[in-house]
Copies of this chain bind each other. A is one copy, B any other.
Amino acid sequence: MTEQEYDLIVLGAGAVGENVADYATRGGMRTVVVESALVGGECSYWACMPSKALLRPAAVLRAARAVDGARRAVTGGVDAVGAFARRDAIVHHHDDASQTRWLASAGIDLVRGHGVLVGERRVRVEVSDGDPVDLVARHAVAVCTGSEPRIPDTPGLAEANPWTSRDATSATEVPASLAVIGGGVVACELALAYAGLGARVTMLVRGDSVLGGMEPFAAEAVRAGLEEAGVELRTRVEVEEASAESGSTALRFTGGDLLSVERVLVATGRAPRTRDLGLETVGLEPGDWIEVDDTLRVPGSEWLYAVGDVTRRALFTHQGKYQARAAGDVMAARAAGRPVEDGPWGRHVATADHTAVPQVVFTDPEVAAVGLTAEAARAAGRRIRTVDYDLSWLAGATTHADDYRGHARAVIDEERKVLVGATFVGADVAELVQAATIAIVGEVPLARLWHAVPAYPTLSEVWLRFLEEYGRDESA
């Protein structure tokens, strides 16, 4: 059995692992990535990309129907065959050849198999077609194994063979009826996608509404949009039992109500993929999220890093990649003895994880948010003021769609006179959030933002409205 030595071993070749490896390699580290499934990871094949692909056809038809002069040209609904074919093309038919080519071109080695820590800086990879491969890291090991759907231990549920987001995003047929357990982003997006594809969808939500943690007006708008799309929402319900029947599943929930559906989709949150990584050999608890400092290193360790979902810092592809850039870079800097910039907003820290994590929910309406909600800011003891604006009042909304509906909120830090949070809700608001992210991260004073003129007539004019509502005298 051979032992191969590298500067860095990366466990997991999702978007996060790829970026850790890329930045570390460019920083001079000889790097190997270990992956048991597809190179490219969850997001490319089973999450963001296919779910957006499935949502888009209904979204563009909705947009066309919302404009007089175009409305009459739309005579049908979503064509599921076309939508699935498009999704298949977007996920490259689950073929990771282009990603593995990219790894090779970037000078990164790949070992296909399941990697397990077997002690400090040591990884053993079980491969399907031969002896295990033993890897040794001269400098660091980065755990980038991500997360997976958490299945509640509801009696009968596992036996009913429910869909997870993976199944829903890779399905090739539309069930006649679908129960979605959960009320978060994944639940809302997939409920809308399948309603658009023609399924009769029922959402079973434990809380009072969907999208807990977001601004309440965003949750309310998405809830209303789901209902308009034909989704039946049952809130404050807990599924107590599931029983598989031939071709269908019966769910019994709070109060004894029964629902029989062709398919059940479980979207009740994520769990870290850390159960079988040998974490116990390095003093960590298998199955737990992995705590790290802002350089993504495990406290108390010189060599162990964790990046992406597995850290629970912010479960988004884009934020994981951001962490990956810092982590790859800092490992290379430390390995080479170069200076480490680990002060706030330094090159080697993921400062934005704490203050400026953007998120877009591709529902109808869309939600695009970054930074603190009003409630979160107050809970954190910040002295804030919120500024609200009805997007339908914008000239840009009037031209965008007949009867445009939308709402936006800015959260202003009253001490520093800067933006600390923003939420936009409405059709096609996804691209509005980057401006807010730059304003927050750049700590651009409100007084200066008055000079950042939005083009007319666009939805971005909401920036002017925010400032006008806030008041110029108060901006300085």
- Could you list which residues of chain A lie within 8 angstroms of chain B, going by C-beta atoms? 43-44, 48-49, 52-53, 56-58, 60-61, 63-64, 66-80, 82-86, 90, 316-319, 321-322, 325, 329, 345, 347, 351-352, 356-360, 368, 395, 398-400, 402, 428, 430-435, 437-442, 444, 447-461, 463-464, 472, 476
Contact = CB atoms under 8 A, between A and B. Distances in A.
Nearest to A43: B456
Nearest to A23: B472
Contacts of A441: 444, 448-449, 451-452
A43 B53 CA distance: 37
Contact of A434 (B428, B450, B454): B454
A435 B431 CA distance: 9
Contact of A69 (B79, B430, B439, B476): B79
Nearest to A76: B73
Contacts of A439: 438, 442
A426 to B, nearest CB: 11
Nearest to A398: B90
A288 to B, nearest CB: 26
Which one of A86, A368, A400, A428 has the highest number of Cβ atoms from chain B below 10 Å of its Cβ? A86
Nearest to A344: B451
A359 B458 CA distance: 10
A56 B400 contact: yes
Contact of A61 (B73, B78, B84): B73
A80 B280 CA distance: 69
Q: 4 tightest CB-CB pairs across the interface, nearest first?
A: A69-B83, A57-B69, A73-B76, A442-B444
B455 A347 contact: no
6 contacts: A68-B79, A68-B85, A71-B82, A329-B472, A347-B450, A431-B458
Nearest to A317: B456
A79 B472 CA distance: 44
Given A452-B434, A460-B434, A57 B74 contact: no
A435 B434 CA distance: 6
A148 B29 CA distance: 63
Nearest to A58: B70
A345 B73 contact: no
Nearest to A71: B82
A3 to B, nearest CB: 33
A140 B358 CA distance: 46
B428 A438 contact: no
A457 B48 contact: yes
A76 to B, nearest CB: 4
Contacts of A457: 48-49, 52
Contacts of A437: 435, 452-454
A356 B453 contact: yes
A360 B399 contact: no
B72 A79 contact: yes
Nearest to A362: B399
A464 B22 CA distance: 15
